[in-house]
Amino acid sequence: MNSADVWTTAPATAVLVLSDGTTIKGQGLGATGTATGEVCFNTAMTGYQEIMTDPSYAGQIITFTFPHIGNTGANDEDVETVDMSAVQGACGMIIRADVTNPSNYRALQHLDKWLKDRGIIGLCGVDTRALTALIRDKGMPNAVISHNETGSFDVDALKKQASDWAGLEGADLAKDVTTKSTYEWKETVWQWDEGFADKQNDAFHVVAVDFGVKRNILRLLVNAGCKVTVVPASTSAEEILAHKPDGVFLSNGPGDPAATGIYAVPMVQQLVKNGLPIFGICLGHQILALALGGKTQKMHQGHHGANHPVHDHTTGKVEITSMNHGFAVDAQTLPEGIEETHVSLFDGTNCGLQMKSAPVFSVQHHPEASPGPQDSHYLFDRFIENMRQHKAR
């Protein structure tokens, strides 16, 4: 795939054009139109609906390495975007095989119809293994995905659009996906044959700062016994403290942490000085690292999947985790008093930290899963224990 066209046997109705001119043609599905984003690959075999609606994927086009995507259809329960009417996740989907009719009892829609309804462009019938190999060799490229049922494309114009796009470095995307107003979350996790339920808790009051939060994170906080108040990403420390929380949660989200950190870092630094227990995930982990004096960096291919091994130094155990991030904390820049707690066994990058002198910790991976393994659910219990001890003091 060296700037050459990659063709399928059927007439092309969709195309992916990389900024270097590489052109990949296939069949379109979902919405028609054009979208610009960074192309990454995800190795998960299940959970494509949760992946596509994770706000952390804003500004990205996802290539699924598993060839059979869409065969369980789509429903209203497996959406991770808090606002189900908003398109806050990935802007494009690339898959290998044609989408079959749904074969799962929970399916309410064909994947093609679901993508159309959400305005997401899809491309299928292409060699996703070759595209994955390209990303591994050259990094995550900027690209344009376009679906036109007539099969007519101005490839030169699409290449220019891709090369002109500024990319994710320096982009504050949290402001685009965060909630616009404060609200309380009461929904619990999904139960077999029962679905979701509402629960009112008051053992611990958690203020969750929404940089692009996933539904299942909020559900697990409720299940753990928390009253959850969700606030916008730009909320000040004074406004957060006015809620009189027992702890603060820093959510996942998209974009460059250094850009979001311009307004988020001062808020977190003030909260750390206040002494409240803090728990961060994904972008929240990166923002916390910046607030404590560390630095972040853009990754070559990122981590995207549901099978990533992580070593927890605090327990000595290896967990299989869900991951979705294109930036990472540079562990070498963490100052004295900040301990590295988790490390990726794929490439040795940082996956967790904690303060030695305060109940403050965070992880890069997604302990709430959805999709993925539940090995890291204990981290929510760790947060609860920190709040319990803080209240006792």
Q: Closest Cα to residue 159, out of 42, 270, 36?
A: 36
DSSP state of 282: T
Distances (CA, A) of 23 to 87, 191, 242, 375: 26, 44, 53, 40
Largest CA distance in the chain: 69
Q: Which residues are designated catalytic?
A: 282, 366, 368
Cα dihedral 62, 211, 115, 322 in deg (nearest 10) = 50
Say which residues have a Cβ less than 8 Å from residue 159's Cβ, sequence separation at least 6: 17, 18, 19, 21, 23, 144
Bridge partners of 353?
Answer: 340, 362
Which residue's entry shows tokens 């209203």?
76
User: At 288, is the secondary structure helix, strand, or coil?
Assistant: helix
Bridge partners of 298?
Answer: 327
Bridge partners of 363?
Answer: 281, 352
